[in-house]
Amino acid sequence: MKSILTILFLFILTNLVVAQENEAELIRKNFDSYKAFLYNGKGGEAANLVDSHTIKYYGDIIELVKNADSLKVESLSLLDKIMVLIVRQRVSKENILNFDGKALLIHAINNGMIDKSSAGSFTIGDITVDNNFAKGQIIANGTGSPLFLNFYKENGQWKFDLTSLFPICIPALQKLVKELGERGFINAMLSAGTGNKLSQNVWRPIR
């Protein structure tokens, strides 16, 4: 009986390991596909690979773009503030009023508003799967890091939580703010790639 139980345990353990490896492969495929679509400016395809947390975040941003006054914008975190102001600077009023979160994300990818290097320079190392949640270690320039990207299994498909990438960008943003001052940094960010001067309308709601 003991040997039978041992064999059964090993059988279950082996199958669990294989299942974890299969899930990890699907997660890598998701992330690699997202990077490829991002790099090629295919917003619709990329947006189908991100999770509901990401779509909700962009939904919250578009609502702030439409409705937040200058006091509200000033109170936002640095990243959220930049997101709101960039959308107001670069996206037409007609689109803003008609966009939801997914439409904003698609537009941002199609129009180069999301830096292709934001995910393109990373690969994923070890992946830990816990039911419908997984995290993958970020490998940057061939070196492992203590940072992780999150993935969620939604409707049977693994999807990338783009918002898990945001905290990684914060230190670099804070460094630039320290060098340029917040307003100088914001001006540089909003005019980058367009050559247009910062419009004061970006501090006002889009109505």
162-191 per-position pLDDT tens digit? 999 888 888 888 888 888 888 888 888 777
Q: Which of 142, 115, 144 is nearest to 127 (CA)?
A: 144
Q: Which residues contact 97 (CB under 8 A, 6 or more apart)?
A: 66, 206
pLDDT digits (tens, 9 = 90+) for 76-127: 999 999 999 999 999 999 999 999 999 999 999 999 888 776 566 678 999 9
Q: Which residues contact 27 (CB under 8 A, 6 or more apart)?
A: 124, 127, 129, 134, 136, 151, 158
**pLDDT bracket for residue 2 (50, 70, 90):** low
Residue 67, token pair as written in the block: 């409705």
- Strands 157-161 and 143-154 come out as antiparallel
Q: What per-residue confidence (pLDDT) applies to 118?
A: 59
Residues 119-143, mean pLDDT to the nearest whole number: 86
What residue segments make up the domains of the chain, in order of their start? Answer: 2-203
Residues 141/120, Cβ–Cβ less than 8 Å: no
**pLDDT bracket for residue 14 (50, 70, 90):** very low
Share of the chain above pLDDT 70, in %: 84
133 or 206: whose pLDDT is higher?
133
- Distance CA(56)–CA(39), nearest Å, equals 23
Q: Which residues contact 206 (CB under 8 A, 6 or more apart)?
A: 65, 66, 88, 93, 96, 97
CATH architecture observed for domain 2-203: Roll (3.10)
